[in-house]
Structure 1
């Protein structure tokens, strides 16, 4: 009679923990290994990752298509800029305020949008993204928004005890917010609300029959998604030190959608991959061709979508699954050989 095996931790869990530890070490060491300009770029990539996570919760997990999330990014940026410039509010306090404002704005926008689905919702959000720069330029708002000239923000100083430069300090501030937002999203999406979001995306009629309040879940999802994007907008304004209406055109909204698709729909870690793509690939395209950088960028998009139709996160899942199957087959064959011998 064979002796029972002692319970062991799954190898995949150990690998995941080791991977997270290595990722944390690399993320913390990065600002000390590159120039200040690269630190600035990586900080913006972290900002975009927060925005992409919010949009992915709406589109990837709940199935609502938004082509106007750049508007919520602009709202968050202007809330932070106005609070810092007009009222002298500390920069760290403007971030949760911007998130709260965008949560309310997204929830209110989501209520009438409940009647719209698919392409109709996409067009409604597209209209919001197109209108936002003009709203910010409206003459009756110029006293607050600065009109077409925008608002200049003073870059926060790093505390003396840290010994960090301004760029390094902002990097760690954004990294800390990113970790908090990712943990919140992970808990939310793996809980009851997250299951309801996915059920509405896949089988809305069945979800409603099971007692899911589809209207409330969809509105709350829109609000939470806007909150994430608003937090990213506030951080982006603090990092860039400047906000202006022309910085938040519809191209920003389209760029966020590109990042979500490239990173991988319905994937939390996909937000990181998508953010790195939208931050660095345009620079790579510009270095390859000064005459037609956007043509090169389009080629990158086509190649990425052809090679990775499920996004970078989807490709990693597929490769990890194949490696796991290969390892299981090897373990099974070695166990069979031992039993026969």
Structure 2
């Protein structure tokens, strides 16, 4: 015989309305056709932009793409693997200096510097990823911060190779005659091609078993180990992949700027990149792009507001964005989309 109390409770649960749930994205947003259409529209806008903007603005967009590639690697490490790095700018510098040295001392063709710079950063990230097997949190942050700190004096020490404090000045890739493009447009399209390839590679990586293993480690290392994920291997590879994307961005940076010096890769670069990623949105493919926009434009905006203390303005802007969008700009955009009513 059933308990009357339990029967009444069951009837109450049946009669009660279902608990409120977060609004689902509208049907048009979830359709694959719309997503492909949005991607095609974005690609068309990206190809059309350099023909409508002045050279300086084209240069700014080029730098946004470079920072987006660098942040793509940092997002892989921090947003998807759950690790921390305060030395990402050092791997960016390794890629930049590898390309510069190959161009200056070995006269290597520009396209060949890209895989070499990416490979050098990958190997260095693999070596420095070993401490990630045993360190976590603040201890890991201090190790990665040390990388960014000692790199600048190290680059200044080998003057014959790196140019010392004066750096290296290089020629930029000249546009081929058949393209009919100006130099700034040619550099933009080179950077765009590298960025698209990097994003496709990262998206494929995250959809593979490696991506699922990184997400498992981020959510719970103990549970991931029980499921058979090799923590040491995937943590080390996360650092290596992250460094590879940073090195790729550094190589393209050398092409675009035509100059490298140790003072361009201080600790501030690593901190700015991490801040840009958090503002853009962790764990999202659109986060690095939004973070690249933040890294490129917000410091100069802060400088325009107050020449005496741009760092204060920069910090206040970060606080304001985090207050409005705790999950980053990508998360804010996602919440706005989910609020769009469904079409029944």
State the TM-score, normalizing by the size of structure 2. Answer: 0.90
Alignment match, 1:79: 98
Q: Is the 8 A contact 2:72 2:288 kept in 1?
A: yes
Is residue 126 of structure 1 aligned with residue 141 of structure 2? no
Q: Distance in 1 between matches of 2:112 and 2:195?
A: 16
Q: Distance in 1 between matches of 2:150 and 2:309?
A: 29
Is residue 16 of structure 1 aligned with residue 35 of structure 2? yes
Alignment match, 1:144: 161
Q: Which runs of 5+ in 2 are unaligned?
A: 1-26
Q: Find the partner of 2:66 among 39, 47, 59.
A: 47
1:150: Cα distance to partner?
Answer: 0.6
CA distance 1:131–1:321, change in 2 (3 Å): same
Q: Is the 8 A contact 2:131 2:140 kept in 1?
A: no
Q: Distance in 2 between matches of 1:289 and 1:135?
A: 33
1:191: Cα distance to partner?
Answer: 1.4
Q: Distance in 1 between matches of 2:45 and 2:273?
A: 25
Alignment match, 1:245: 262
Alignment match, 1:317: 334
Q: Distance in 1 between matches of 2:226 and 2:309?
A: 53
Alignment match, 2:271: 254
1:287: Cα distance to partner?
Answer: 2.5
Is residue 62 of structure 1 aligned with residue 81 of structure 2? yes
1:299: Cα distance to partner?
Answer: 2.1
Alignment match, 2:22: none
Secondary structure of the 2:302 match is helix
Q: Find the partner of 1:302 among 304, 319, 322.
A: 319
What does the per-residue CA deviation read over 1:247-305, in whole Å, with 9 as the maximum and x for residues that have no partner?
Answer: 11000000110111011001111100000011011222222333433322222111111
Q: Distance in 2 between matches of 1:112 and 1:310?
A: 28
Q: Distance in 2 between matches of 1:295 and 1:32?
A: 36
| Count of residues in correspondence between the two structures | 316
Alignment match, 1:174: 191
Q: Distance in 2 between matches of 1:113 and 1:232?
A: 23
Alignment match, 2:342: 327
Q: Distance in 1 between matches of 2:302 and 2:224?
A: 44
Alignment match, 2:210: 193
Q: Distance in 2 between matches of 1:239 and 1:255?
A: 20
1:41: Cα distance to partner?
Answer: 1.1
Query: Structure 1 runs of 4+ off > 6 angstroms?
Result: none
State the TM-score, normalizing by the size of structure 1. Answer: 0.90
What does the per-residue CA deviation read over 1:22-81, in whole Å, with 9 as the maximum and x for residues that have no partner?
Answer: 211111111111111111111011000000000010011001100001110111000000
Alignment match, 2:299: 282
Give the CA RMSD over aligned residues: 1.1
Secondary structure of the 2:342 match is helix
